[in-house]
Structure 1
Amino acid sequence: MTPAALTIVVLALGLAAASLVHALRLRAQLAAERRSAAVRGAEREALAREQAAASERERIHADLHDDLGARLLGLIHDAQTPQQADRARALLQDLRDVVTRSRGTPGTLADVLADIRNEATQRLAAVDIVLDWHSSEALPDPPLDHARALHLHRIVREAISNVIRHAQARHVRVRVDERAALLRLELTDDGSGAGVNAPAAGSGLRGMRERAAELAGGIDWTAGTAGGTKVLLTMPLAPVPGA
């Protein structure tokens, strides 16, 4: 083979090798693009399914609220006593909790306390009980997840229920502050002091204790300094792992 022919062969082999490398790279690029497209397609399908499920949950919750909510409002309107009306109001708030929990985040501690205060004010005013609520200006305002917000809300709701149904009180005082990284919520009424001893309050008190434990906190009932009952709830401001 002449040097010229050898040169041509070498060049041809080089071109063939370069073409092969280019083809392999192109094949790998196409395969990667197909995999990426498949992943994007799967993500779009998963997102579409999630959005469809969320829409269906929203529809079910809306139907539930409209149907049961209307019935509970009817019970409130037709109640023979303020206590019966309050039971229906509490159930209506429980129903709204279920609906609200499916939407977004509950917000910060201040947001949750504002909702609790507004609900308590309405329920107590409906039975001619005056609410005096004060939150410390120095109270931290951390975000609350759904579970912690729900437990806090339900504990105060049950405490208000006990006042309305058993205490024969005219005034309720709530003080909210922070000590040693603990939220302290103190609720005192000027009633008979019979609320925590009423037979019907038993399961409610157990539920309050269980919810306080879920918050890694505690709850105590003592006699108020001027009569009535004092409820003290404490809970860590920051979530406790495992709680």
Structure 2
Amino acid sequence: MDEQRGRGAPQWWWHGPPWLNRWGAEGRGNRWPWPSTVLLTFFVLGGSNYAAHRQEGVRADLDVFARVLLIVGSALLLWRKRYPVAVAFGTAGAAMLYLGAGYPYGPVFFPVALACFGAIVAGHRRAAWTAMGMLWVGHVLVAHWLYRWLPPSADSASPWGQEAVVAAWVVAITAVAELARTRREQWARERAERAQAARRRADEERLRIARELHDVLAHSISVINVQAGVGLALLDTDPEQARTALTTIKAASKEALGEVRQVLDTLRTPGDAPRAPAPGLDRLPELVQQAASAGLAVEVDGDPPRLAPGTDLAAFRIVQEALTNVVRHSGSRHARVHVEHDARALRLRVEDDGPATGADAGGSGNGLAGMRERAAALGGTIEAGPRPDGGFQVLAVLPLKAKEDDR
């Protein structure tokens, strides 16, 4: 846009002379309203000349001082974005001097209207109202009392109907400026709300990806860690068993790479369909097999119902993380997974016989927090703690929501 504008006009026309921009670089932006100010100045000067011809013999002729006042009142608008209050009072003062000197009526009020409009939109309502009120009161004094002692000598009192017209214009300018200010504040609030919503969605997406990566890597690396220990311990005494452990490590690492790739697919171009379906409770046999390769016997009790994709994925990850914790932190080599459901909720209970070993496979300690976040996102709950008869238990309750078929 700037390049296209620059082809038809010199650079200083759009941004002002270089010395002016350097002088105001510490203001609220480097661009000055240069074109609009120049155009308004020419309009005010031309309109005042035309008004002087129409009011010749009634009002004082335009002289150098009158033109200086018109130029000063218009040129002050260059600072209307940086100093709106000072510009509002400055333009009102220049107009008051112009009218008090008996010069012709004309577009002298335009700079005042624009300056007060900008001040109101910028939030300086009281200052703008005061500037317009002072100008109107000064005009009333000049037009109905001070005209006897001010030029031109043959001037007479103005009709009161003229003051009503001026007051109506003041009210109209104020009303339009207040409407613009209200809309500007509303747009600013809407932009802030949209930005906050975007940040919240980005944070939620980062948390979701972090949970997915944690669940995938914690489970697979725990299996790899256990099997690596077995392989190292049996490398010399039982090479065949060490070979089996290495085979399990290879299979677990391959599966982990595949799931990590699937999670990272969500970072591709928005709108792309996932390359593979998200895991669900239909893959419980795979979890049982992976746990068995890590030396943990898992017994599954109950059949999972058909679930919505989000609930199905959360249930799978919760069971996966619970079994990973058994492998890493429990001395028991046996775990049980109970699946129960009714019309309203799915209940998953994963328990072992303990005792806790304090062993750690290098995890971050965020497993339970991740499970709680998954359950809370669906309106469910997670309870985790020691069992009365020993061992540890994780109980997840996930609500069953209505889902669209084949979605």
TM-score (norm 2): 0.33
Please state which structure has a larger fraction of its residues in strand.
1
Distance 2:344 2:359 in 1: 28
Q: 1:152 aligns with which of 307, 315, 330?
A: 315
- Is residue 2:102 matched to residue 1:102? no
Contact 2:343/2:400 (<8 A) preserved: no
Q: How does 1:1-243 map to 2 (within 5 A)?
A: 76=224, 80-81=228-229, 85=249, 88=253, 91-92=256-257, 94-95=259-260, 97-98=262-263, 102-103=274-275, 112-115=280-283, 117-136=284-303, 141-145=305-309, 147-179=310-342, 181-193=344-356, 200=363, 202-238=365-401
Gaps of 5+ in 2: 1-219, 231-244, 267-272
Query: In the superposition, relative to structure 1, how do residues 112 and 200 fare at CA in structure 2: closer, same or farther (>3 Å)?
Result: closer
Contact 1:192/1:227 (<8 A) preserved: yes
Distance 2:359 2:401 in 1: 29
Structure 2: which amino acid aligns with 1:152?
A
Query: In the superposition, relative to structure 1, how do residues 142 and 118 fare at CA in structure 2: closer, same or farther (>3 Å)?
Result: closer
Deviating runs (4+, > 6 A) in structure 1? 195-199
Contact 1:90/1:157 (<8 A) preserved: no
Query: In the superposition, relative to structure 1, how do residues 207 and 93 fare at CA in structure 2: closer, same or farther (>3 Å)?
Result: farther
Structure 2: which amino acid aligns with 1:121?
V
Query: In the superposition, relative to structure 1, how do residues 97 and 235 fare at CA in structure 2: closer, same or farther (>3 Å)?
Result: farther
State the 1:239 CA deviation: 5.3
State the 1:190 CA deviation: 1.4
Contact 2:299/2:335 (<8 A) preserved: yes
Matched-pair identity in % = 33
State the 1:114 CA deviation: 2.2
Structure 1: which amino acid aligns with 2:324?
S
Query: In the superposition, relative to structure 1, how do residues 216 and 80 fare at CA in structure 2: closer, same or farther (>3 Å)?
Result: same
How many residues align? The count is 159
Query: In the superposition, relative to structure 1, how do residues 154 and 77 fare at CA in structure 2: closer, same or farther (>3 Å)?
Result: closer
Which is worse superposed, 203-212 or 190-199? 190-199
Contact 1:163/1:169 (<8 A) preserved: yes
SS for the counterpart of 2:301 is strand
- What's the C-alpha RMSD, in Å, of the aligned pairs? 4.2
Query: In the superposition, relative to structure 1, how do residues 212 and 197 fare at CA in structure 2: closer, same or farther (>3 Å)?
Result: farther
TM-score (norm 1): 0.52
Name which structure has the greater RCO, CA cutoff 8 Å, separation 6+: 1
State the 1:182 CA deviation: 0.8
State the 1:90 CA deviation: 7.5
Aligned to 2:152: none
Higher-Rg member (1/2): 2
Distance 1:237 1:204 in 2: 23
State the 1:112 CA deviation: 2.6
State the 1:202 CA deviation: 2.9
State the 1:103 CA deviation: 4.1
State the 1:143 CA deviation: 4.0
Structure 2: which amino acid aligns with 1:113?
L
SS for the counterpart of 1:173 is strand
SS for the counterpart of 2:384 is strand
State the 1:122 CA deviation: 1.6
Which is worse superposed, 180-189 or 81-90? 81-90
Distance 1:93 1:174 in 2: 25
